[in-house]
């Protein structure tokens, strides 16, 4: 199983190629559309990876602190976006000062946590009153598909195949069992498919854990890829224009 420390170089280079469909043509534009004006804001970039969002936030006039558990990712970020502050830390044990950030962002990072409570508590504590927390995750309803390859074809199935007369059914996908699942990053630009583990959580868990941490949910979004993505990957574009791969949440620490 791949780990972000081993993947850091290939991750950053692939993102820099401008051809990472799921990021540059899908998740990133959706997140940027939702974020408020960052000029003069103090922004926490959780699971900052190689600093790609960090650099965008800096370019929009924010002061940024990037946090990532991967030492290698932080090393790259320090070179790629050197004007930010960085902490190599597990976000479940954040040590940033209390009530110090206007905005926190966690792009595709919470999905690696087995327990969201400590991280949400830490983010809540780090935000000023009225501050916002934006996070994206793989869509809990769709990440649990039965995925397999057969005769050169790739299948991703959720649903059931039922014969009521015989009393038989095959169910594809297991939504309610919260567990580690392996997602394969298949695009040819990553070389051979890379397996990475997400900890699948139900929507019920995600929403109720946010509320229990004290946040108010201000918006929930199921973005679609931008039209330019059709040129990068017509197949992924078609799939992701009909079946969502991501969700974005906008939370607020009440005033
Ligand atoms: C898919 S990458 C996203 C990186 C960055 N947000 C971006 O969009 O370019 C996920 C990142 O989350 C980090 N991560 C995973 N678990 C973490 C944890 N418990 N604390 C901090 N960072 C974590 C990984 O090391 C990785 O860099």
DSSP code string of 77-102: HHHHSTTSEEEE--GGG--SPTT-EE
Inside any domain, residue 166 = no
66 lines ligand 1 (CB under 6 A): no
Q: What is the pLDDT of residues 173-230, one digit of tens each?
A: 999 999 999 988 765 555 677 788 999 999 999 999 999 999 999 999 999 999 999 9
Inside any domain, residue 193 = no
pTM metric for this prediction = 0.96
Which residue from 14, 25, 47 has its CB within 8 A of the most atoms of ligand 1, so it is best to mutate? 47
Q: What are phi and psi of 205, to 5 degrees?
A: -65, -45
Inside any domain, residue 150 = no
For residue 168, the cross-strand partners are 163
- Contact by Cβ (8 Å): 189, 20: yes
52 lines ligand 1 (CB under 6 A): yes
Inside any domain, residue 174 = no
- Contact by Cβ (8 Å): 86, 66: yes
Kindly list the strands in the beta sheet with 216-221, ordered across the sheet, starting from the edge strand earlier in the chain: 85-88, 63-68, 42-46, 101-107, 127-138, 246-252, 216-221
pLDDT of residue 186: 65
For residue 154, the cross-strand partners are 149
Overall average pLDDT of the 7-22 stretch? 92
Provide the pairing of β-strand 194-200 with 216-221.
unpaired
Inside any domain, residue 168 = no
* 76 backbone φψ class: left, alpha, beta (φ>0; ψ -120 to 50): alpha
Inside any domain, residue 246 = yes
Percent of the chain's residues with pLDDT above 90: 87
Name the domain count of the chain.
1
Report which protein residue has its CA nearest ligand 1's atom 13.
47
73 lines ligand 1 (CB under 6 A): yes
Give the pLDDT band of residue 28 (cuts 50, 70, 90).
very high
Range of the domain at 14: 4-139+201-252
CATH number at residue 229: 3.40.50.150
- CA neighbor of 143 nearest in space, from 190, 192, 94, 181: 181
Helix, strand or coil, per DSSP, at residue 40 = coil
Inside any domain, residue 219 = yes
**DSSP symbol at 15:** H
Measure the CA–CA gap between 96 and 125, rounded to whole angstroms.
9
Measure the CA–CA gap between 187 and 194, rounded to whole angstroms.
9
pLDDT of residue 1: 58
Write down how long the chain is.
255
Here the tokens at position 183 are: 């997602």
Inside any domain, residue 62 = yes
Measure the CA–CA gap between 38 and 54, rounded to whole angstroms.
12
């Amino acid at each position: 199983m791949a780990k972000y420390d081993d993947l850091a170089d290939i991750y950053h280079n692939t993102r820099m190629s401008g051809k990472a469909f799921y990021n540059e043509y899908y998740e990133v534009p959706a997140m940027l559309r939702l974020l408020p004006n960052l000029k003069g804001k103090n922004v926490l970039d959780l699971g900052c990876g190689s600093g790609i969002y960090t650099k965008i936030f800096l370019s929009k006039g924010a002061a940024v602190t990037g946090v990532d558990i991967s030492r290698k990712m932080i090393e790259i970020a320090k070179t790629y976006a050197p004007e930010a502050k960085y902490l190599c830390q597990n976000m479940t044990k954040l040590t940033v000062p209390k009530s110090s950030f206007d905005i926190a962002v966690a792009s595709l990072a919470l999905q690696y946590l087995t327990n969201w409570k400590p991280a949400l508590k830490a983010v809540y504590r780090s935000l000023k009153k009225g501050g916002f927390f934006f996070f994206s995750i793989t869509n809990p309803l769709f990440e649990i598909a039965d995925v397999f390859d057969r005769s050169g074809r790739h299948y991703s199935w959720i649903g059931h195949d039922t014969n009521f007369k015989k009393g038989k059914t095959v169910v594809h996908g297991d939504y309610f069992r919260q567990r580690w699942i392996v997602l394969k990053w298949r695009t040819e630009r990553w070389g051979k498919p890379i397996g990475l583990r997400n900890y699948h959580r139900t929507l019920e868990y995600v929403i109720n854990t946010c509320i229990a941490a004290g946040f108010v949910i201000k918006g929930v979004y199921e973005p679609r890829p931008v039209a330019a993505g059709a040129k990068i990957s017509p197949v992924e574009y078609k799939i992701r224009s009909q079946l969502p791969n991501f969700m974005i949440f906008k939370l607020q620490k009440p005033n």
